[in-house]
Structure 1
């Protein structure tokens, strides 16, 4: 950056706070790049032989091959419906070609996020279909010719793009193996067909979640800004002096950790993330989501209504028994599938239970309807018997639930759907 550093006396504390709020998504995305990219390439080896090196491979997909459970602690509020495929694209050396196989009739999506956390594009069932596809992703400075045979062309607003892939899977050995074979066919190539993998220095430890040193924060933001322009319509007072950053960073991060700004849906339900493809002028919410829910998809692809309280407004607790009752024909309106997932409040993770069930939904085998056609889900710590649709709760602990809606329909997107509250039994 060539601009003169602006001291706190010139900017004022409010302006420094605003600069931190604006740039925090950049820092958090670069931290996630460091945390989620691979140290080792299957053919080219380690990005660095130094174990504490910050060198990583980009333009290389990594995959999880099973659904997450209570022993997985790396990600909070994890999804229990799909497996993940992940890559970071570096477009500075030219476009990257992403190849995906025919997915049959199963749900899948590749969500593309820019460095400012805008979920700006998708490839997958909802947007481009399930056929085998070749997707060209290029940066803002590329002026080349699109080769023949491209199914999709995506222009990224910057040179760094995070692709988070989700593929629906049944928890059976046969289906897990089939999905594993599909994941192996998701690859990133150069236009000449060669491996697109590149080594990059991420400059930081992606596992560190504490308040970063001001010098590191500024170094990361400077590097990210040079590759990812400020979104159109924003004016960024940057760079800011390290002394001013050191004073404001702890306050802003603490504020974002405790301040919730969900969209109330009624019945004790709220929507923490309501972005579609771009955050626009809502810099405050963009920063909060970057700190607490980074990687969230836009609501056209998936919505995650969350309930922490029951119908009376009391916190959900494992010492109580609850029911969630969808009236006849009144279940969630989705184009793909829905599930209700339960997490312990203290650590936002799954809780081990005797039937190894961490979510329940329209794909759950043996789901029973009431005589009138209602769907009732029982949430309690003790086994209600074979007649109930049981989602086990942690005995004696606070918990919350997330209603995951994949390809939500108009009633949800227009906030017209009546979400039933959880009631004490």
Structure 2
């Protein structure tokens, strides 16, 4: 089966055209769009605006859910450190990560820069990134490309609010941020068990604080606020719950939250046409939404909202695809005007990094197009030349159809090349997927007994993982 992919120059054109079509406006309505003298345009523009705004609304809800003084929350400009891997049956966030422990925090740049110091990992794999409120990756350890594969060196990054003119400590990398808030995520590879202690020591070396808490030599002052999150398990930010909250918002709730979030987190200048369409439906930064309120108009508003929800959760046509697997290619983390891809990425993979950091491919059907189910046994045969192309490492994990770890599983493991993968004589690898342990017990991905999906994670992937020249092997039913 071939990989579905535009050539690279054409793909960029596809993304640009997708953005233009999404926000087609008053000057030249797209073919088939409702004329302005009817109220059909309300549905179209509400739907388009929902898709455009989804990442910001989701990030705003996520930040609100994660920051504060309530149990499970942390103050802005502090980190929460996951202390153990997620337990069997974990479901929040969707598709809990079994390869790494996560440290994460929400940065508030409203008053001054916020600095983050990363420790020397002494050869252990670690990746880190920061996203603006539109889910664009501002900075990550993907540059230089090979550094994090053999461990990170100690470094400090300053996230600076737009227009700030002050002086930073020496040897600090400056990253300018156009939104008031940013989301920081760091993942440290672990094998679980006793190895978790080494990761926890590295987590204690992560430091975050506003500029006022740092001295001129780039050291965090003693009075800086301590990090939080001891005792947490799994990914500490519950991205699944915010997504459900966003899906439950009615039109007024959704666009009111958007209008308030826009006041501190403006889109880029190229998005001005999208802002004009928001104005058409009565949404202006900082003001309460004034959506069309006639009875017929409200029906169109609600229809547009429903259409927008469906579009956000629908894989866009420019995903990479092969052998039933779907994954986001080179545009991950830097979406430009491709609002459909950006919204889908935020919905499917909150906090998604760039394609140089990590690739996540998903499959829910076998090579014959049937749903994966734990009543069957499957094999994924990677030839020696078809192994996942990574500079770091790769793993495969099975989840229920709603993204949870199987609550009945005897073990919780992510099978991959760093936990005992056995090769055949020709260098190939056969990965066995089943509810019961495979014969011989090697290269086994434990699967739920009902329908399930697989996620292939590739850390520090090589270019062929995202340029369309490679695809994962098919999942064959035995």
Q: TM-score range by the shorter chain?
A: 0.7 to 0.9
SS in 2 for 1:305: strand
1:238 is the counterpart of 2:278: yes
> Structure 2 vs 1, CA of residues 141 and 178 (structure 1 numbering), >3 Å: closer, same or farther?
same
How do 1:283-294 and structure 2 match up within 5 A? 283-294=339-350
> Structure 2 vs 1, CA of residues 261 and 78 (structure 1 numbering), >3 Å: closer, same or farther?
farther
TM-fit CA distance, 1:10: 11
1:328 is the counterpart of 2:384: yes
1:195 is the counterpart of 2:224: yes
Deviations 1:273-329 (A, max 9, x none): 653342111112222222332211111111111121212222212111111111134
- The aligned counterpart of 2:129 is 111
Provide the aligned length of Structure 1 versus Structure 2. 396
Q: Is the 8 A contact 2:58 2:246 kept in 1?
A: no
SS in 1 for 2:75: strand
Farther off after superposition, 10-19 or 402-411:
10-19
TM-score by length of 2: 0.76
> Structure 2 vs 1, CA of residues 93 and 417 (structure 1 numbering), >3 Å: closer, same or farther?
same
Higher helix share: 2
- The aligned counterpart of 1:307 is 363
Q: Pick from 120, 141, 146: which aligns with 1:102?
A: 120
CA distance in 2, matches of 1:352, 1:160: 36
- The aligned counterpart of 2:191 is 170
Give the RMSD, CA atoms, in angstroms.
Answer: 2.8
TM-fit CA distance, 1:79: 1.5
- The aligned counterpart of 1:356 is 411
- The aligned counterpart of 1:139 is 161
1:220 is the counterpart of 2:264: no
CA distance in 1, matches of 2:408, 2:387: 26
TM-fit CA distance, 1:106: 1.2
Deviations 1:257-280 (A, max 9, x none): 355546243222211565334211
- The aligned counterpart of 2:429 is 375
- The aligned counterpart of 1:81 is 99
CA distance in 2, matches of 1:93, 1:351: 44
TM-score by length of 1: 0.85
Higher strand share: 1
> Structure 2 vs 1, CA of residues 136 and 230 (structure 1 numbering), >3 Å: closer, same or farther?
same
Deviations 1:212-266 (A, max 9, x none): 1444323322222111221231121234223455553233113433555462432
- The aligned counterpart of 2:475 is 422
Deviations 1:328-374 (A, max 9, x none): 343111111000111112x2211146651431000113x32223322
Farther off after superposition, 232-241 or 307-316:
232-241
CA distance in 2, matches of 1:219, 1:189: 31
SS in 1 for 2:158: strand
Unaligned runs of 5+ in 1: 1-7, 41-45, 198-204
How do 1:247-326 and structure 2 match up within 5 A? 248-258=304-314, 261=317, 263-272=319-328, 275-326=331-382
Deviations 1:46-101 (A, max 9, x none): 9xxxx9xxx96211111111122323222112221011111111111010111121
> Structure 2 vs 1, CA of residues 272 and 78 (structure 1 numbering), >3 Å: closer, same or farther?
farther
Unaligned runs of 5+ in 2: 1-37, 214-222, 227-240, 283-289
Deviations 1:161-195 (A, max 9, x none): 1111111112122x211211211221212223253
TM-fit CA distance, 1:411: 1.7
CA distance in 2, matches of 1:24, 1:352: 31
Q: Is the 8 A contact 1:107 1:125 kept in 2?
A: no
